[in-house]
């Protein structure tokens, strides 16, 4: 398995070598590879930070710099071409900052421009390079590609000659293997694009002794350290929270009509308690179920029921029975919505009943009925409020903690009372300093410092996942296939705590929530307080979404775990943390590509699974592969196995990092289904 963990790495060439290289060259165009290291955002800019001063100090004109993800994949260059074509035309020389595979790909792409390597590839055991094309790199750490204009003599010449051809080639074919083109013939052709005279170079040595293990080890150690920080695996996607993190919560205007689905929770769908023509008020219960795992739904407006029919739903593709209510604009509250000044005297059972009756569900996106967690058959010794909000872009919880810390802490006190706990934790990632400050201040003001502790956690995705959070805060491992209650822990989102407070103290059911509306296609990016049932299309309109050209992707939730929405005709539901509208990605996920066994999915999986094996299992046409996988002992169809697909938490890290952009999550969902069928 070790070999799966290797993938290409590179480092900038020594300064003196770069100075020598550029001394007679100007009007430079620089290509930088933005992966394999995209998740370590600092690595590429650090390299550039070193490269640019060298170019500047030497008085060079840098026409343009273009960062391309997976530069080794020609497809990525082709689709970005229109954006950098002009700059390229104006430049005379092209520098490439990437591994040996990326540089070779650029050389193929720019047949008539001189290309120079400013990096050396760090040797790694195992597979090198992630190119989907024929270019290869042996990782010898002494890149000859500058001299040979982007055609590697090591991997193209059978004898690995670095000073010229052996002379045995016939009709352009290698004397060792007649099926193979002579690498030096190709280099000769390619050298015509530059005035540089290779044949005048002093004799070059294939200097394996130049491998600087000090550098590569330091590099590898840094990568591993970052990977294992807090928990194994995970990724560091661009956060993009700055779009809305400073935007105070605004109230979205009263909707004229709301559409309230009878399922906005895990568990049984509710039955309608109203009929068409009924007049309802704000907070009136309009749907409920007798099932244990379910949660009632309430009207978020006062008005008249105009339809009860199956409508599109953001989570359930087949749609769900939905109650449409035309608002009368009076916003009259139902008699059941009344404040309870004596709430501190309520018993544990009364409190649980209120939480159920007011339809409180997990607001982090999971929508699990909250009251069920508090009827645990197992003893609970720890409560954790989850304020990590590790999904990029989303800032709804962040703003809620900044603006409503009293209600969140108040809700936590109620939950701790139910569980009979003296101690609880609020976990917040350190990228939310204002939230940490606000919650801390509230805890101090309420003299709760010995009862509630803030766990400040380093920012890393998916820190907010229950399993990672519990491990970090309590040191406990939730067993495979188990639940937090198996280790005596209940986790609730901070938004849920806020909703619990409002339900118990103000008698308010869950009829509104905070939604972050964000993404490149949104003009006015905002944090909005929105009534449940408000049509998504109205919110997008309000925020100036640019949807006309159809070049957009709408997700409900964040980019990692959010659900892709095919229709704008869906309403906001209890679990809607965010509406994210971005441009369609240049590179789409496609099952047409192949897994190249780069192993990066293994590297980032916080559940320590082997996602590529699931891919092979579902997609390989060869029965041998399945048989081989069965022989690995990984037992991937068994839910009790450490490597079983059912252990996947669908965090999306593997899909995010996948070199081949494979739709790994859909594949895993199918795998899980198959595993369940095998079980039954």
Q: Which residues bind ligand SF4 (CB under 6 A)?
A: 100, 121, 137-140, 143-145, 152, 154-155, 595-601, 604-607, 609, 611-612, 615, 648-654, 657-660, 662, 665, 668
Distance in Å, CB of 22 to ligand SF4, minimum = 19
Beta strands of 214-278 (E only): which ranges? 250-251, 257-261, 271-272
Distance in Å, CB of 465 to ligand SF4, minimum = 9
Looking up tokens 């205007």 gives 253
146 or 516: CB nearest ligand SF4: 146
562 or 599: CB nearest ligand SF4: 599
What does the block give as tokens for 275?
A: 């009929």
97 or 435: CB nearest ligand SF4: 97
**Residue count (the chain):** 680
Helices 348-357, 405-419: inter-axial angle, 10-degree rounding? 130
Coil, strand or helix at 95: strand
Distance in Å, CB of 240 to ligand SF4, minimum = 20
Q: Are 521 and 546 in contact (CB under 8 A)?
A: yes
44 or 654: CB nearest ligand SF4: 654
Distance in Å, CB of 214 to ligand SF4, minimum = 18
Distance in Å, CB of 559 to ligand SF4, minimum = 14
Coil, strand or helix at 484: helix
Looking up tokens 């820190």 gives 463
Q: Report the run of H or E that residue 96 belongs to, with start and end.
A: strand 93-97
Distance in Å, CB of 68 to ligand SF4, minimum = 18
268 or 587: CB nearest ligand SF4: 587
The closest residue (CB) to ligand SF4 is 100
Distance in Å, CB of 662 to ligand SF4, minimum = 5
571 or 599: CB nearest ligand SF4: 599
94 or 360: CB nearest ligand SF4: 94
Distance in Å, CB of 160 to ligand SF4, minimum = 9
125 or 520: CB nearest ligand SF4: 125
Quickly list DSSP for 158-178: TT--SSS--S--BTTB-SS-T
Distance in Å, CB of 337 to ligand SF4, minimum = 41
Q: 589, 42, 529: which is closest to 249 by C-alpha? A: 529
Q: What Å distances lie between residue 513 and 105, 360, 438, 491, CA to CA?
A: 49, 11, 20, 19
What contacts 531, CB < 8 A, 6 or more positions away? 252, 254, 255, 258, 300, 301, 511, 512, 572
Q: Are 58 and 16 in contact (CB under 8 A)?
A: no
Which residues face 287 on adjacent strands?
A: 272, 297
Q: Are strands 257-261 and 119-122 parallel, antiparallel or unpaired?
A: unpaired
Alpha-carbon span 653 to 57, nearest angstrom: 40
Distance in Å, CB of 332 to ligand SF4, minimum = 46
Quickly list DSSP for 326-364: EE-S--PBPTT----TTGGG--HHHHHHHHHHTT-B-TT
587 or 649: CB nearest ligand SF4: 649
Looking up tokens 């100075």 gives 19
Q: How many CA atoms lie within 13 A of 624 on its CB side?
A: 1
């Amino acid at each position: 398995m070790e070999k799966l963990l290797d993938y290409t790495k590179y480092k900038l060439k020594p300064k003196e070598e770069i100075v020598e290289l550029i001394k007679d060259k100007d009007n430079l165009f620089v290509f930088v590879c933005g992966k394999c290291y995209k998740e370590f955002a600092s690595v590429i800019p650090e390299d550039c930070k070193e490269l640019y001063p060298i170019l500047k100090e030497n008085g060079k004109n840098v026409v343009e710099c273009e960062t391309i993800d997976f530069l080794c994949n020609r497809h990525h260059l082709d689709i970005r071409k229109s954006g950098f074509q002009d700059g390229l035309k104006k430049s005379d020389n092209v520098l490439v900052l990437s591994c040996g595979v990326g540089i070779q790909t650029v050389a193929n792409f720019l047949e008539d421009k001189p290309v120079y390597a400013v990096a050396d590839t760090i040797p790694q055991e195992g597979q090198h390079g992630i190119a989907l094309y024929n270019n290869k790199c042996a990782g010898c750490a002494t890149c000859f590609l500058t001299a040979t204009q982007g055609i590697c003599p090591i991997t193209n010449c059978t004898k690995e000659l670095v000073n010229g051809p052996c002379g045995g080639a016939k009709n352009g074919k290698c004397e060792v293997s007649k099926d193979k083109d002579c690498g030096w013939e190709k280099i000769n052709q390619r050298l015509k694009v530059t005035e540089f005279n290779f044949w005048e170079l002093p004799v070059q040595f294939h200097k394996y002794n130049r491998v600087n293990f000090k550098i590569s080890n330091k590099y590898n150690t840094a990568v591993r350290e970052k990977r294992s920080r807090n928990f194994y695996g995970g990724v560091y996607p661009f956060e993009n929270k700055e779009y809305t993190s400073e935007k105070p919560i605004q109230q979205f205007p009263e909707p004229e009509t709301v559409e309230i689905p009878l399922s906005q929770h895990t568990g049984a769908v509710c039955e309608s308690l109203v009929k068409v023509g009924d007049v309802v008020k704000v907070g009136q219960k309009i749907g409920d179920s007798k099932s244990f795992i379910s949660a009632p739904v309430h009207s978020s407006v006062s008005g008249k029921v105009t339809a009860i029919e199956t409508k599109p739903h953001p989570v359930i593709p087949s749609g769900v029975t939905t109650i449409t209510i035309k608002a009368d604009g009076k916003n009259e509250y139902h008699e059941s919505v009344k404040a309870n000044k004596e709430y501190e005297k309520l018993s544990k059972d009364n409190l649980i009943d209120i939480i159920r009756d007011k339809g409180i569900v997990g607001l982090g996106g999971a929508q699990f009925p909250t009251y069920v967690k508090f009827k645990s058959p197992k003893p609970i010794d720890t409560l954790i409020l989850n304020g990590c909000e590790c999904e990029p872009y989303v800032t709804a919880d962040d703003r809620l903690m900044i603006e409503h810390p009293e209600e969140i802490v108040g809700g936590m006190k109620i939950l701790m009372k139910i569980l009979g706990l003296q101690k609880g934790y609020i976990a917040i990632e350190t990228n939310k300093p204002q939230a940490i400050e606000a919650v801390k201040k509230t805890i101090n003001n309420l003299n709760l410092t010995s009862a509630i502790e803030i766990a400040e956690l380093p920012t890393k995705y998916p820190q907010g996942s229950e399993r990672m959070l519990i491990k970090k805060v309590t040191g406990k491992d939730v067993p495979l296939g188990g639940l937090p209650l198996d280790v005596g822990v209940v986790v609730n989102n901070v938004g849920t705590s806020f909703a619990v407070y409002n339900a118990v103290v103000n008698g308010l059911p869950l009829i509104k929530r905070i939604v972050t509306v964000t993404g490149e296609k949104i003009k006015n990016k905002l944090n909005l307080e929105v009534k449940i049932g408000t049509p998504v299309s109205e919110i997008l309109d309000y925020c100036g979404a640019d949807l006309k050209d159809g070049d957009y992707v709408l997700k409900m939730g964040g980019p990692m775990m959010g659900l892709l929405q095919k229709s704008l005709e869906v309403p906001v539901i209890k679990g809607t943390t965010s509406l994210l509208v971005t441009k369609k990605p240049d590179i789409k996920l496609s099952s047409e590509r192949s897994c190249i066994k780069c192993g990066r999915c293994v590297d980032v999986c916080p559940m320590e699974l082997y996602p590529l094996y699931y891919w092979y299992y579902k997609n390989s046409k060869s029965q041998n592969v399945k048989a081989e996988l069965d022989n690995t002992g990984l037992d991937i169809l068994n839910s009790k196995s450490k490597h079983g697909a059912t252990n996947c938490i669908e965090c999306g890290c593997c899909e995010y990092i996948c070199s081949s952009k494979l739709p790994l999550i859909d594949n895993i969902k199918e795998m899980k289904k198959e595993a369940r069928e095998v079980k039954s």
